[in-house]
Amino acid sequence: MPRFDLSLYLVLDPDQSERSGGLMETARAAVAGGVTIVQLRAPQWKKRRMTEAARALRTILAPKGIPLIIDDHADVMLASGAEGLHVGQEDLSAEDARRLISPDKILGLSAGNLMELRGTRPELVDYYGVGPVFSTRSKADAGAAIGIAGLQEVLAEARHPCVAIGGITKENAPQIGAAGADGIAVISALCGQPDVELAARNLLQAYRCGI
Ligand code: TZP
């Protein structure tokens, strides 16, 4: 059994989650709808608050065997006992991240395009987050969308599983599955949705029907 399943990757954003009952309620409903992995991404939060939220999230996720990934902060990951860390191109380097976290922890790295992928050291990484594939309103500095063609370029060279991110909806998720990505990562298609459980079920089904 692989250590993690990227099929439906929820990136929990505290602000957007407010509209769907808050962080915990959004996570609970998303788990009921079938999310396979969850990231806590709270660039606006202080580390203490993030660590407390991560611990609370683990009480929902760990019993279901769903890994919790912490965005950017290795110390928050270690303190909360989360299963992994995700780093972007301007965060800790994969080398430094691996120095801090043990080999059994999951390390994810953002690769915005083929050039960024080629700049990574695959032996240090467990998966890549690739995108934005489509334009997104959830990350101001996300950069230009690479489209399905850009995603396919990355997939052709990546030596690890790749989860596509950026502007993914149930309407375009089949294209991501058909392109051969290992999963879809979403913020706004889950956080803030009126029925998060149903939204998760629909997204997973849409992604899988493209595979
Ligand atoms: N990284 C690249 S795009 C993005 C992140 C964190 C935001 C994705 O959010 P949404 O709402 O699913 O487009």
Write the pLDDT tens digit of every residue in 134-188: 999 999 999 899 999 999 999 999 999 999 999 999 999 999 999 999 999 999 9
Residue 2: pLDDT band with limits 50, 70, 90:
low
81 phi, psi to nearest 5 deg: 80, 15
Residue 185, pLDDT score:
98
Residue 211, pLDDT score:
86
Is a pLDDT exceeding 70 seen at residue 1? no
For the chain, give the mean pLDDT: 96
Give the three-state DSSP class for 200.
Answer: helix
In short, whether 116's Cβ falls inside 6 Å of ligand 1 is: no
The percentage of the chain sitting over the pLDDT mark of 70, rounded to a whole number, equals 99
In short, whether 139's Cβ falls inside 6 Å of ligand 1 is: yes
pLDDT, tens only, 39-77:
999 999 999 999 999 999 999 999 999 999 999 999 999
In short, whether 193's Cβ falls inside 6 Å of ligand 1 is: no
Give the three-state DSSP class for 133.
Answer: coil
pLDDT, tens only, 84-119:
999 999 999 999 999 999 999 999 999 999 999 999
- The single-letter DSSP state of residue 137 is S
Q: How many CA atoms lie within 13 A of 2 on its CB side?
A: 14
- Calculate mean pLDDT across residues 196-204: 98
| Other beta carbons within 10 Å of 52 | 14
Q: Quick one: which of 150, 201, 154 has its CA closest to 173?
A: 201
Residue 210: pLDDT band with limits 50, 70, 90:
confident
CA of 189 to the centre of ligand 1 (A): 10
Ligand 1 pocket check: which of 8, 187, 188 to mutate, most ligand atoms within 8 Å of Cβ? Answer: 187
In short, whether 112's Cβ falls inside 6 Å of ligand 1 is: no
Provide the annotated binding site.
Answer: 71-72, 91, 110, 136-139, 167, 187-188
